[in-house]
Amino acid sequence: MNLIADENKIIKLSSSERDIMELFWNEKDGLSFGEIINLVNQDDSNIRKKQTINTYLTRLIAKNLLIKKNGDTRLKTLYFPKYTKEEYNRKMIEKLLEENYENSLLEFIKQLSGGEYLSKEDAQKIINVLEKDKN
């Protein structure tokens, strides 16, 4: 089994992996392993053992979601998210559209609305968002 993710593919996160990624998405700078341990222990997470945390970090690197770098002045290894939370979520939505709706936002909206027509208000809101996204 190949654990290394394709550069352009985004892999869905498990609940625990998402919890760990949230730590990175909430931090401005990279985190050392010790800082990650401290943050996890402050959280209500079930992840407590250092080896388990290390396993999750290794998986997130293999999934191409974390970057591991040697620290500058602290001389520690630092971990950084490859994508912001917004970038990750957007890529997951793009993957959902591609795999299930033939890359069609319209097909997705039809399914979401249960095949019903959207109200004019909802349709206008979607148009406004799409037009804003173009600019």
68 in the same domain as 7: yes
Domain match, 56 and 1 both: yes
Q: Quote the domain boundaries for residue 68.
A: 1-100
* pLDDT interval class at 118 (50, 70, 90): confident
Span 60-83, pLDDT tens digits: 999 999 999 986 665 688 999 999
The domain tally of the chain equals 2
CA dihedral 25, 41, 11, 6 (to 10 degrees): 80
One domain for residues 62 and 38 = yes
96 with 113, same domain: the answer is no
Residue 96 and residue 124 in one domain: no
Answer yes or no: are the C-beta atoms of 95 and 103 closer than 8 Å: no
Residue 89 structure tokens: 């979520």
Q: Do both 124 and 96 map to the same domain?
A: no
Average pLDDT value for residue range 11-19: 89
Same structural domain, 54 and 82: yes
Say whether both 18 and 42 belong to one domain. yes
Residue pointed to by tokens 């997705």: 108
Are 50 and 108 in a shared domain?
A: no
Check whether residue 38 and residue 64 sit in a common domain.
yes
- The whole-model pTM stands at 0.74
Contact (CB, 8 A) for 39 and 46: no
Give the span between the Cα atoms of 57 and 60, in whole angstroms: 5
In this structure, are 111 and 90 located in the same domain? Answer: no
Q: Do 42 and 82 fall within a single domain?
A: yes
For the stretch 20-60, pLDDT in tens is: 999 999 998 899 999 999 888 887 666 668 899 999 999 99
